[in-house]
């Protein structure tokens, strides 16, 4: 595993009321959720980056109010039309 080091102001931890280790975990989850939302990662890969199970990642998506589905309503309708 590769380790990344970030310089953050001490106030960042106080603002979120988190210890540095908790803050780092939350950053991993937030980044994975955003990249998933943008369609850059699959659920499985995003869960891996977040350090969660796939079910745990789906729970995180819910907390961040991000849909676990990467299809728009139009894309689903189009897929259904093409299936006929």
The alpha carbon torsion through 11, 14, 20, 21 (nearest 10 deg) reads: -150
Report the Cα–Cα distance between both ends of the chain, in Å, rounded.
Answer: 46
Residue 28 burial class via C-beta count within 10 angstroms: exposed 0-12, middle 13-18, buried 19 and up: middle
Dump pLDDT digits (tens) for 17-65.
999 999 999 999 999 999 999 999 999 999 999 999 999 999 999 999 9
Domain boundaries, the chain: 18-83
Q: Identify the H or E element spanning 42.
A: none
Q: CA-CA distance, 40 to 46, in Å (whole number)?
A: 9
Q: What radius of gyration, in Å, describes the C-alpha atoms of the chain?
A: 16
Q: What is the pTM of this model?
A: 0.82
């Amino acid at each position: 595993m590769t380790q990344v080091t970030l310089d953050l102001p001490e106030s960042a931890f106080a603002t979120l009321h988190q210890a540095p280790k908790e803050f780092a975990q939350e950053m991993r989850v937030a980044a994975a959720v955003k990249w998933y939302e943008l369609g850059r990662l699959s659920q499985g890969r995003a869960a891996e980056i977040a350090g969660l199970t796939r079910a745990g990642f789906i729970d995180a998506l819910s907390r961040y109010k991000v849909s676990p589905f990467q299809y728009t309503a139009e894309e689903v309708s189009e897929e259904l039309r093409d299936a006929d």
